Structure 1
């Protein structure tokens, strides 16, 4: 027994010594991680303690700790409010439209750019596609509102063909599609970068072998490039599902107006009005917590489904 205890202590000391050596050998990389870890701790994990006000009647003068507990009162209030279901429906519809039309856009763009052999044109096209990502939605919204206004370029083009001008930004039937199209314009170039990186990692020998076998460009895309991209596509789809109820606060907040609230007011804009404008902090926190719980359920469910269909290589864990 004594020999076993001594051996166990020696193994423990050896393991600790080995761990310290590995840590010292990677000290530069570990130091580079510190700002990122500090950011998430300070701005993401510590504020999570404030979620408790969803179960309290928060009063600023009393503070979080002294505010009275009310249990599920604010959740019951939300679930009994018909307008809550309107913003929930809008969030789902807008997110699903963006997912349906916006998620494939960077994949197709990366596949098409990969087939271009004129390097100057390719680099210029990629650079131009990245630029909208770096423009604030405050600026982009002003541009799009001007374009789609009665005196804007779109209606000016319609007048050239003697068509009746349309107030696109005030028409509910058009507004959601404007959100989808402008979101794709702003994000598809930047989102394609990760697909370019994945394509760059595909062995050239696969293409050479396919070329010898007589495969054309379309078949090389279909049987080599796309299957090799599939794990990346699946992982990004899983991550995208976690944001299915976000729908794009910055974009919608800067572009919508009261005439289109019925089809564009989403959970985030609703929480903004309830929490910051009406100062109903507990209620808005309850609604935000509900959204986070749904996001957690979605990402776990989709990850399990993708793992069951495609194996571990196509899932997050």
Structure 2
């Protein structure tokens, strides 16, 4: 064998691969790849513009947190107040009431809503018949496409003072129950609404992860005499653990973002003492009362806490051997 042939088989530029990679890394090669993927890039452009304008571009609005912002004067003409809004925020009992309600709702969502899509995905994955599985999936997905106005109206018709449940109880000679408008039942009510509306849609990611589990592991577990629960505990959950950890980290990043529309529509029924969360507090402070600087300070505080939670949860995921959202 000649020396030239040996160098070729060893992976030198004779085989063409390194030369090809250099061509693809050149400006002409990158331009060629852009032309090849032009349709996909154009399809992704609206989403990219949305995030650039309404997410990254909106970050410049955080400067309002350090100003006594007046809309007629604009950012350039408004007076700078430094950290005055944050000092006011930490001494405001209304702010801490919103924080308390937000933390309570967030904990309820983490404990009851986060596991619900996983449980539903495991149930759907255990259904043998494809026809039945597709039908159940379609049924549980449908509430996601309903607006919160319709969902809350449905719950009002079912659980309100003149709703179906109280009407049925009155026919049985029993007293009615107070759920809608009851501050003590507000937390479980909003979690039940969230589970009914979003649980089916949230199972999509878990079902995609379950489809990647090796069937041979289930067969081996069956041969070892493992029942359904042991197969789930020792095969399914370890296989999809990276997905669970990833979604948990992302959920912790939105720990103080429990939602706006759902709570805005029901705030008056239970009163601000129970129904006020940080999103509604920012809305009423900024838009209803015109205190834009203070509202921006509260929103900035909430965002910083979210960043800290994501960073901390991601570090914990790395300690547990999972990849998390990003590599440190």
Q: TM-score, normalised by structure 1?
A: 0.90
- Whether 1:95 aligns to 2:111 is no
- Whether 1:186 aligns to 2:197 is yes
Query: What does residue 4 of structure 1 align with?
Result: none
Which of residues 194, 209, 213 in structure 2 aligns to 1:202?
Answer: 213
Which of residues 290, 297, 307 in structure 2 aligns to 1:279?
Answer: 290
Tell me, yes or no, if the aligned pair for 1:176 and 1:264 is still in contact at 8 Å: no
1:131-142 equivalences under 5 Å are 131-142=142-153
Quick one: distance in 1 between partners of 2:73 and 2:22?
Answer: 50
Quick one: distance in 1 between partners of 2:249 and 2:268?
Answer: 32
Tell me, yes or no, if the aligned pair for 2:250 and 2:325 is still in contact at 8 Å: no
Query: What does residue 85 of structure 1 align with?
Result: 96
Quick one: distance in 2 between partners of 1:302 and 1:121?
Answer: 38
- Whether 1:62 aligns to 2:73 is yes
Tell me, yes or no, if the aligned pair for 1:235 and 1:316 is still in contact at 8 Å: no
Instruction: State the shift of 1:49 in Å.
Output: 1.3
Instruction: State the shift of 1:298 in Å.
Output: 0.7
Query: What does residue 109 of structure 1 align with?
Result: 120
Quick one: distance in 1 between partners of 2:219 and 2:177?
Answer: 53
Tell me, yes or no, if the aligned pair for 2:65 and 2:85 is still in contact at 8 Å: yes
The range that moved more, 289-298 or 198-207, is: 198-207
1:213-292 equivalences under 5 Å are 213-257=224-268, 259-292=270-303
Quick one: distance in 2 between partners of 1:253 and 1:68?
Answer: 31
Quick one: distance in 2 between partners of 1:67 and 1:128?
Answer: 52
Over 3 Å counting, the alpha-carbon distance change for 1:216 and 1:12 in structure 2 is closer
Tell me, yes or no, if the aligned pair for 1:149 and 1:169 is still in contact at 8 Å: yes
Over 3 Å counting, the alpha-carbon distance change for 1:12 and 1:189 in structure 2 is closer
Q: Indicate the SS of the match to 1:238.
A: helix
Tell me, yes or no, if the aligned pair for 1:145 and 1:255 is still in contact at 8 Å: no
Instruction: State the shift of 1:20 in Å.
Output: 4.2
Instruction: State the shift of 1:46 in Å.
Output: 1.6
- Supply the RMSD in Å over aligned alpha carbons: 2.0
The range that moved more, 11-20 or 69-78, is: 11-20
Higher relative contact order (CA 8 A, sep 6+): 1
